[in-house]
Structure 1
């Protein structure tokens, strides 16, 4: 079964997913927070997901960042809507900067680096790759 990761933001949620064997992490989509539950219900009708990974926003001193209450609300919504799917939190510090660097290294232009939806989706991929790396 697949594992799905979320880079939560109040304007956009970047989503990444593994292949069924959990070997490869791929960017799936970027969705507005108000549309995420409907999106997930539709996705889960065709693709089984065994676990959700949610980026945990922290400051450099390891304390919760300003967006932590929003992420907590999102996690509670996931738990309420999909109680059978376990949720893990994973430190998301630097994922956006790493995503921008990946875009720059890929040869895409400045416009792509400024595409916030692309950055959010790649951030979710980086988050999921981090989870995959620690689970081996």
Structure 2
């Protein structure tokens, strides 16, 4: 059983996944929001998924950000389409900045570092790692 995490954006959704033993989080893909349901249907045909982790965009004071309304709709549809899969929301306030820094320090070529989708999938990985760390500390 795997855990799948999302860094949801209106232009791109970064997706990360755990290994079947749920020990390691890795980037999986970046897809356009209109393609997410086909992507997930195909992925879930081949892999068992027990939990979806969705990054929750918050302001510095902890209130919902302007983009939070898009996340609410995404989560609502996840619940409807995949009712047997648990959904967890995780604070994603600094994930894109952390992802950008990690990519900058990775040694990748400049052209690869500038791919916007890479930031989204790495941000999803950070969201997933955060969830895994919280879960193991409980």
RMSD, aligned α-carbons = 0.8
What aligned pairs does 1:1-136 form with structure 2 within 5 A after superposition?
1-136=1-136
Q: Name the CA distance, whole Å, in 2 between partners of 1:110 and 1:82.
A: 38
Deviation per CA, 1:87-123: give whole Å up to 9, x if none.
0000001100000110111112443333110000000
Deviation per CA, 1:68-105: give whole Å up to 9, x if none.
00011000110110011010000001100000110111
Q: Name the CA distance, whole Å, in 1 between partners of 2:112 and 2:45.
A: 32
Task: Say if 1:56 and 1:91, in contact at 8 Å, map to a contact too.
Answer: yes
Q: Name the CA distance, whole Å, in 2 between partners of 1:113 and 1:44.
A: 29
Task: Say if 1:2 and 1:49, in contact at 8 Å, map to a contact too.
Answer: yes
Q: Runs of 5+ in structure 2 lacking a partner? A: none
Alignment TM-score, normalising by the size of structure 2: 0.96
Q: Runs of 5+ in structure 1 lacking a partner? A: none
Q: Name the CA distance, whole Å, in 1 between partners of 2:24 and 2:122.
A: 13
Q: Name the CA distance, whole Å, in 1 between partners of 2:82 and 2:2.
A: 15
Size of the alignment, in residue pairs?
A: 136
Alignment TM-score, normalising by the size of structure 1: 0.97
Q: Name the CA distance, whole Å, in 1 between partners of 2:112 and 2:9.
A: 19
Deviation per CA, 1:13-37: give whole Å up to 9, x if none.
0000000000000100001111101
Q: Name the CA distance, whole Å, in 2 between partners of 1:109 and 1:61.
A: 36
Q: Name the CA distance, whole Å, in 1 between partners of 2:134 and 2:87.
A: 15
